[in-house]
Amino acid sequence: MTTSPARAPFSVCVYCGSRLGKQPAYLALAEALGTAIGRRGWQLVYGGGRAGLMGAVADATLAAGGRVVGVIPESLMTLEVGHAGLSELHVVGTMHQRKQMMAERSDAFIAMPGGIGTFEELFEVWTWRHLGYHERPLGLLDAAGYWAPLLAFLRHSVAQGFMGDDQMAMLHTAADAESLLNTLFAARSSTAAADFNKI
């Protein structure tokens, strides 16, 4: 008798602040997202740190029974910010290897409130999608209207002809973790794995 290999759980990559931000709503959202991922039996993929919202999402996912995969570059690990309690922690050589591995291991991408690291990761994975390197869904998860000024600027960019409506349509937005997870799961890619080595 042959047994088919166990299917990997649906994996959600979360980009978010290595700080907590100034409003309790941000931490509450991080905990709600991690709890929702864990309760679904899904897997979190993230930057591997234990600081700020990053650590909060990871802890909440683990507490709710989910798996957590962290990918961290050696340079950040030696600053002793790596999370020690994860299901898998990959220490890689460079930031580029880290972002490639995070993308390879993920079926969908979410950006929560965060700073320049979060912005860079969101825009990179969005650009990769636009250029056809992958077909995985991505979304912005909002709390306290944090992303509203960015969304207004992005609409301005569309109005000024630098972005297309098709690009905007790739970015799902929600203020509720459960509904964003539902949307991203419904929009999951049915095509073969992307080739992030071509990037």
Kindly list the residues in this chain that would bind ligand AMP in the complex (CB under 6 A). 15-19, 47-49, 51, 54, 72, 76, 81, 114-118, 121
Nearer to ligand AMP, 60 or 76 (CB): 76
> Which residues partner with 92 through β-bridges?
73
In angstroms, give the least distance from the CB of 99 to ligand AMP.
8
Residue whose CB is nearest to ligand AMP in the complex, by number: 117
DSSP letter (8 states) at residue 196 = G
E strand residue ranges, the chain? 11-15, 43-46, 67-73, 88-92, 108-111, 138-141, 171-174
Closest approach of ligand AMP to the CB of residue 21, in Å: 10
User: Which residues make Cβ contacts (< 8 Å) with residue 26, sequence separation at least 6?
Assistant: 17, 20, 53, 112, 113, 143, 144, 146
Smallest distance from the beta carbon of 133 to ligand AMP, in angstroms? 19
What one-letter code names the amino acid at 192? A
Q: How far is the CB of 74 from ligand AMP (least distance, A)?
A: 12
Name which of 58 and 194 has its Cβ closer to ligand AMP: 58
